[in-house]
Amino acid sequence: MTVMTVREMRELLGLSRAAFSRIYKIPVRTLEDWEAGRRKCPDYVLYLLERCVKDDKKKDGSLLRISVDRQIEEMNQARDEEDIINNRFL
């Protein structure tokens, strides 16, 4: 059984690293390291994450829509704040 890579999972959902990070509670830096091959995602995490991603993909997308909408709202609120300067949303 071939397990998807984290990048494949993220792209399947059409999410940025920031959005994927928020939904699945994985630090953005960790995602970057996994996707760049600097660190290896544990096999059990890949397996469980793939199950969650595929399940979320089958659903109507409400979880994803809520998370993305919340992220957009937070970014709009922070537009004039220091968070943007500190690259919080990258």
Give the chain's residues under pLDDT 50: none
Domain ranges of the chain: 6-79
SS (H, E, C) the chain: CCCCCHHHHHHHHCCCHHHHHHHHCCCHHHHHHHHHCCCCCCHHHHHHHHHHHHHHHHCCCHHHHHHHHHHHHHHHHHCCCHHHHCCCCC
Tokens of 53: 């991603």
Tell if the pTM clears 0.75, that is, is over it.
Answer: no
**What is the pLDDT, as a whole number, of residue 89?**
53
**What is the pLDDT, as a whole number, of residue 77?**
72
Q: What is the rounded distance in angstroms from the CA atom of residue 64 to the CA atom of residue 72? A: 12
CB-based contacts of 38: which residues, under 8 Å, 6+ apart?
A: 32
Q: What's the pLDDT tens digit per position in 12-24?
A: 988 899 989 988 9
**Mean pLDDT estimate for the chain:** 82
**What is the pLDDT, as a whole number, of residue 63?**
58
**What is the pLDDT, as a whole number, of residue 10?**
92
